[in-house]
Amino acid sequence: AKDYELRQYETAKWVSTVIRGETQKEAMRQGFWKLFHYIQGKNEKEMKIDMTVPVTCLIKSGCTDFKISFFVAFEHQDSPPQPTDSEVFIEERKAAAIFVRSFGGFASPEKYAEEAAVLARILRSRGQPFHEDFFYTAGYDSPFKLFNRHNEVWYFKK
């Protein structure tokens, strides 16, 4: 469809942290830096790992906990170094079919929520079953990239 796509993601490992009781914007900032320190060597192997995209944030309805995640680079998928920060963990996300809506510009929490609402409305109108109680935001660009930015919202297909 022109207003969204359905992607199949394979099982993969992500490095994540949960930030509680902050605004989404502040949780993203804090979470990003915790994960950035991990890829800069704050791990059991003191290994630097390339930055990957997207950076995702799990948004649950009525919840002020935000799970921020970096995709673990392909060369480290089999055995990513363990974090040394007790608030950072490796998780395996199972294979899933995901409805994706893409948009440009600088994404704010409000813009992500607006795009997620649009995607949810489209999916409902087309009778597509999806998990409505949560969605992910996905950012692909450095804050220094000014043009042709790429952002997404994801709903998991039921």
* Predicted confidence (pLDDT) at residue 1 exceeds the cutoff of 80: no
Split into its structural domains, the chain has a count of: 1
Q: Tell me the whole-structure pTM to 2 decimals.
A: 0.95
Q: What is the CATH number of the domain that holds 96?
A: 3.20.80.10
Q: What is the DSSP string of the chain?
A: -TT-EEEEEPPEEEEEEEEESS-HHHHHHHHHHHHHHHHTT-BTT-------S-EEEEEETT--EEEEEEEPPGGGSSSPPPBSSTTEEEEEEPPEEEEEEEE-S---HHHHHHHHHHHHHHHHHTT--B-TTEEEEEE-S-TT--SS--EEEEEEB-
**Alpha-carbon gap, residue 154 to 152, rounded angstroms:** 7
pLDDT tens digits for range 45-90: 999 999 999 999 999 998 999 999 999 999 999 999 999 999 999 9
pLDDT tens digits for range 92-150: 999 999 999 999 999 999 999 999 999 999 999 999 999 999 999 999 998 889 999 99
Q: Which domain holds residue 147?
A: 5-156
